[in-house]
Amino acid sequence: MQHEALRVFDRVRLDNGRLIMGFSGWMDGGDVSTGTVEYLIRKLSATKFAEINPSPFYIYSFPGSMEVASLFRPHVKIEDGVVAECDEPASTFYCSPPHNVVLFTGREPNLHWREFAECLFSVVSMCNVTTACFVGSFAGLTPHTREPRLFSAVSAETLRPLLKHYDLNPSAYEGPGSFTTFLTALAHARGLELFSLVAEIPAYVEGRNPKCIETVMRKVAAIFDLPVDLSDLHALSRDFEKRINDLVKESPELAEQIHRIEEDHDHAVVTAKDDELKTWLEKQGIRLD
């Protein structure tokens, strides 16, 4: 049964379809979540076929400091005194029937998580989707000079072989949860196999991270057998890493800390140095998720 907040413009029916999801907000550092899905939408020439009405699910005004309130307010654009744009949060579904895939990009809902999940499950049922994947990221002690480690959580034991086959580290997280984890907890009862693919990205690098997006894209393309040419993304990744390397050369202290992170990463160890690194990063105003 279609949820009332779901707007469908074109009915889509796939053959054991796949759904790939990206959310801005909680797990979108380096734009890995939204950036990966937006890249797929372009590369697969996917077309919009449904969206979720934002009104029931988002807070537009939140009491507190301007920095906090600005995280919730709609983005507006005023040109020469005329209001040109006032954008509500968009939660949009795209489809590429030749590739048997649905793509979703949106903002993590503030309210009514279960009802938002029902909108997603409505699309899953309508499109005959049987497997879904959330792509995302978290900031950690990992160097920009190495490929990010990939972690996963799954909706059922039957998906564990997928983790091993594609070299995904099983997550061992405990703490505040994301909407996608909430969705994963509900998925099995709804007959949907859902897994996450989450990259650990360098905490000291701000802005869009094409290198981490490329790593996630390659893994997604392999898992779902998507014929995507990543040469343009690879070129962006090389330029990105070179720019970061040039900036690091200007800060010997940062270069030293990154070298220590590289050593731990290469030896796959967690040592007491981690606490020292975290303290140093916090002093630079760099927050770890």
* Domain spans, the chain: 6-54+89-283
Q: Residue 273's pLDDT is what?
A: 46
Ranges in the chain, pLDDT < 70: 1, 268-289
* pLDDT tens-digit map of 193-215: 999 999 999 888 888 999 999 99
Rounded to the nearest 10 degrees, how much is the dihedral formed by the CA atoms of 61, 67, 72, 78? 90
Distance in angstroms (rounded) separating the CA atoms of residues 36 and 50: 19
Q: Residue 118's pLDDT is what?
A: 95
| H or E stretch at 288 | none
Q: Residue 185's pLDDT is what?
A: 94
Assign residue 264 a region (left: φ > 0; alpha: ψ between -120 and 50; beta: otherwise): alpha
Q: Residue 283's pLDDT is what?
A: 55
Flag whether the pTM goes above 0.85: yes
One-letter amino acid for residue 80 of the chain: D
Half-sphere exposure of 61 (CA within 13 A, CB side): 0
- Domain 6-54+89-283 superfamily per CATH: PAC-like subunit (3.40.50.10900)
Q: Residue 203's pLDDT is what?
A: 84
Q: Residue 211's pLDDT is what?
A: 93
